[in-house]
Protein backbone atom coordinates (compact mmCIF):
# COMPACT_ATOMS: atom_id res chain seq x y z
CA UNK A 1 0.00 0.00 0.00
CA UNK A 2 1.59 3.21 -1.12
CA UNK A 3 -1.14 5.68 -0.15
CA UNK A 4 -3.78 5.76 2.51
CA UNK A 5 -6.62 8.21 3.00
CA UNK A 6 -7.90 9.03 6.46
CA UNK A 7 -11.54 8.30 7.19
CA UNK A 8 -13.32 11.64 7.51
CA UNK A 9 -16.88 10.83 6.50
CA UNK A 10 -18.33 14.04 7.92
CA UNK A 11 -15.97 16.32 5.96
CA UNK A 12 -16.42 14.35 2.74
CA UNK A 13 -20.22 14.47 3.09
CA UNK A 14 -20.16 18.22 3.77
CA UNK A 15 -18.09 18.81 0.64
CA UNK A 16 -20.44 16.63 -1.39
CA UNK A 17 -23.54 18.42 -0.11
CA UNK A 18 -22.03 21.87 -0.76
CA UNK A 19 -20.78 20.84 -4.19
CA UNK A 20 -17.18 21.83 -3.52
CA UNK A 21 -14.06 19.65 -3.79
CA UNK A 22 -12.66 18.24 -0.57
CA UNK A 23 -9.27 19.74 -1.40
CA UNK A 24 -10.54 23.33 -1.28
CA UNK A 25 -10.40 23.23 2.51
CA UNK A 26 -6.74 22.35 2.75
CA UNK A 27 -6.41 22.49 6.53
CA UNK A 28 -7.28 18.89 7.27
CA UNK A 29 -5.76 15.44 6.82
CA UNK A 30 -8.21 14.26 4.16
CA UNK A 31 -7.59 17.13 1.75
CA UNK A 32 -3.84 16.89 2.37
CA UNK A 33 -3.92 13.19 1.51
CA UNK A 34 -5.69 13.90 -1.78
CA UNK A 35 -3.19 16.62 -2.68
CA UNK A 36 -0.19 14.40 -1.88
CA UNK A 37 -1.72 11.56 -3.88
CA UNK A 38 -2.32 13.80 -6.91
CA UNK A 39 1.21 15.22 -6.76
CA UNK A 40 2.68 11.73 -6.55
CA UNK A 41 0.64 10.57 -9.55
CA UNK A 42 1.74 13.53 -11.65
CA UNK A 43 5.36 13.45 -10.51
CA UNK A 44 5.13 16.82 -8.78
CA UNK A 45 6.01 15.66 -5.29
CA UNK A 46 9.02 17.33 -3.73
CA UNK A 47 12.26 15.45 -3.84
CA UNK A 48 13.99 14.99 -0.52
CA UNK A 49 16.77 17.52 -0.24
CA UNK A 50 19.85 17.27 1.87
CA UNK A 51 19.31 19.39 4.95
CA UNK A 52 21.88 22.01 5.72
CA UNK A 53 23.06 22.49 9.27
CA UNK A 54 21.43 25.25 11.25
CA UNK A 55 22.83 28.63 10.36
CA UNK A 56 24.54 30.57 13.08
CA UNK A 57 24.49 34.29 13.69
CA UNK A 58 27.50 34.96 11.43
CA UNK A 59 26.56 32.59 8.60
CA UNK A 60 25.76 35.53 6.34
CA UNK A 61 29.47 36.38 6.22
CA UNK A 62 30.49 33.09 4.63
CA UNK A 63 31.86 29.78 5.79
CA UNK A 64 34.81 29.59 8.11
CA UNK A 65 38.03 28.69 6.30
CA UNK A 66 39.37 26.29 8.91
CA UNK A 67 39.24 25.27 12.51
CA UNK A 68 41.75 26.28 15.14
CA UNK A 69 43.55 22.96 14.88
CA UNK A 70 43.82 23.12 11.08
CA UNK A 71 45.42 26.57 11.10
CA UNK A 72 48.14 25.67 13.62
Q: Which pLDDT score is estimated for 72?
A: 52
Q: Is 26 or 6 the better-scoring residue by pLDDT?
A: 6
CA nearest to 32, candidates 65, 3, 70:
3
User: What would the pLDDT profile of 17-42 be if each residue is shown by its tens digit?
Assistant: 999 988 887 789 999 999 899 999 99
Q: Is 29 or 71 the better-scoring residue by pLDDT?
A: 29
**Residue 2 pLDDT grade (very low, low, confident, very high; cuts 50, 70, 90):** confident
Beta carbons within 8 Å of 9's beta carbon, 6+ residues apart: none
pTM of the entire predicted model: 0.55
CA nearest to 32, candidates 58, 4, 10:
4
CA nearest to 26, candidates 18, 17, 35, 38:
35
Amino acid sequence: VKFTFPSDYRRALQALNKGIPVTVDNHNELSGAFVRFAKALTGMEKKATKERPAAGRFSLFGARKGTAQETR
